[in-house]
Homo-oligomer: A and B are copies of this chain.
Amino acid sequence: MTPCTKCGNVENIVRSGFIRGKQRLYCKGCNLYFTVTPPNPAAVKKSHQTTIVDIARVLGVSPSTVSRALNSSTEINENTRLEILRVANELDYRPNFLAQSLNRGETHTIGVIIPDIQRPFFAGVVAGIQKVATEAGYRVMICQSNESHHTETLNVQALVTSRVDGLLISHSKETNSFEHVKLQLKKGVPIVHFDRVCVEVDTAKVIQEDFLGAFTLTEHMILQGYKRIAVLAGPSDLLISNTRIDGYRAALEKHGMKIDENLIYYSNFSKDDSIRALDFWLNLPEKPDGIFTIHYANGIELIMELKKRNIRIPEEIGIVAFGDELIASLIEPSLTVFHQFPFTIGETAASMLIENIINKDGFAPYTKVIKGELIIRKSSLRNKSSDITPIKHRF
């Protein structure tokens, strides 16, 4: 029989069931349970990344000393430091980020939640974020909500579970409750909103000149002689969409034009919706002679659709849009836009977040507005002399 692992005796051994598939034994003398484990013939030591302990073992010092050398603490002799660094280099030592983060309680990672990385605007923002983050020694983890409220909630949870040091959020167009961000904010997670912000949460924010941009675009049209200007808006829940509509209204009011609610069409930004809006407007007794789209992509779609229908731009219908991309300047006719600077928005948001992370307690949320720029192109230009220079309004 098998002897007891403690007393080595055989007679007191009784079997005591199976545990995890292995026979279990009990020594009545020693009052000891044990299982018989085959001596594990190939106890192969897993080849692993070299650790601080490896270095310590090589040099016969303690792990603490190695840690001190690596972190260039003062409490270490210059010669041992050099020696440790040499060995570390020799063994291609890389600190284990997980262990470091766990110990320090910070990951030096920031989480980003955007609706869709494939939209050039957000890609630009991400690039800006990465630039600033990298320079400050932060990693970036990106999640896409795909314009879904639910996915956005999951993203927030996933990033918090990953213990990111802070969160950068641009909400999905669906999002109409903000409990998921409030919860994290209450827990002390630094959060900065950008572009699609929400007012009911007290976070730092980076926004565009939504109101002024819309105002400028609309006024540009008015000065060009457009009489009935329609708006292709976004979802009625979306803040930036509403702010832009407000800018549109303000411009009309300033110039004493009355506002026709029929000309404001709420869409979900999809191409189908754009065409539905167009159909709706063209069936109106009084058709619009100009269209302002909240989202530049819809402007492009409308241009294509109008061309298909042989409606001349800008003679019969003029078009202006919020936002800009290369394609807006290359399409025929080129699209008048209120140009935004996504890269700058990303840079700004990232540096605000890092500021918040570093100065966690003393940080007071504030809002920063990134300036945009009216770019007049052919899709709206009827009267070349009157309005060739952008109007500079500042409220």
Contact = CB atoms under 8 A, between A and B. Distances in A.
Contact of A102 (B102, B116, B144, B157): B102
Interface string A157-176: 11011110000000000000
Contact of A124 (B107, B118, B127, B183): B118
Contacts of A139: 141, 158, 162
Interface residues of A, number: 43
A141 B158 CA distance: 13
A331 B300 CA distance: 11
A89 interface: no
Contacts of A127: 116-118, 144
Interface in A261-306: 300, 304
A49 B139 CA distance: 22
A159 to B, nearest CB: 9
A188 B300 CA distance: 48
Contacts of A96: 102, 161, 163
A94 B160 contact: yes
A96 B162 CA distance: 7
A107 B118 contact: no
Interface in A299-358: 300, 304, 326-327, 330-332
Interface in A166-203: 183, 187-188
Contacts of A144: 127, 130
A172 to B, nearest CB: 15
Contacts of A102: 96, 98-99, 102
A365 interface: no
A85 interface: no
Contacts of A162: 97-98, 139
A55 to B, nearest CB: 16
Contacts of A143: 130
A92 interface: yes
A95 interface: yes
A17 interface: no
A8 interface: no
Interface in A138-165: 139-144, 157-158, 160-163
A118 B120 contact: yes
A94 B160 CA distance: 8
Given A118-B124, A331-B331, A183 B92 contact: yes
A151 to B, nearest CB: 9
A291 to B, nearest CB: 18
A304 B123 CA distance: 24
A117 B107 contact: no
Interface string A15-56: 000000000000000000000000000000001010000000
Contacts of A99: 102
Interface of A: 47, 49, 92, 94-99, 101-102, 107, 116-118, 120, 123-124, 126-127, 130, 139-144, 157-158, 160-163, 183, 187-188, 300, 304, 326-327, 330-332
10 closest A-B pairs by CB? A98-B102, A332-B332, A327-B327, A118-B123, A97-B162, A97-B161, A94-B161, A98-B101, A123-B123, A98-B98
